Amino acid sequence: MENVDKEYQAKAKGLLRAEMARRNLSYDELAEKLAGIGVEDTARNLSNKISRGGFSAGFMLQCLDALGVKSLSLSE
C-alpha cells in the first residue's frame, strides 16, 4: 500500500510541476496566483509541499485553478 501511495504522490507532484513548467512559472509566481484566489502561502512552503507530493486534493485543485488549467491529461 505504501508503494502505491508513493507512486500516486509522485504522479500528483509531476502533474503540478508539468503545469507550472508549461507556463514557465516559479513558485513565487504560483504563490501570487494562489493569493489571487484567496489562498495565502509562501513560495518556500509551496515548494516544500509540492516536493513532498503528499498534499491534499483540495490543494492540487487550488493550484490548477490558479494556474488556469482547464483540462488535465492523466496519461502520457
- Torsion angle of alpha carbons 21, 58, 10, 43, nearest 10°? 50
Query: Helix axis angle, 27-36 relative to 57-67, nearest 10°?
Result: 90
Gap between the Cα atoms of 26 and 5, Å rounded: 27
Estimate to the nearest angstrom the gap between the alpha carbon of 56 and the chain centroid.
Answer: 10
Q: What is the pTM of this model?
A: 0.89
What does the domain layout of the chain look like in residue ranges?
Answer: 2-67
- What does each C-alpha distance from 11 to 25, 27, 47, 65 come to in angstroms? 19, 19, 16, 18
* pLDDT score, position 76: 63
The pLDDT value given to residue 4 = 84
Task: With a cut of 70, list the residues of the chain below it in pLDDT.
Answer: 76
pLDDT of residue 10: 93
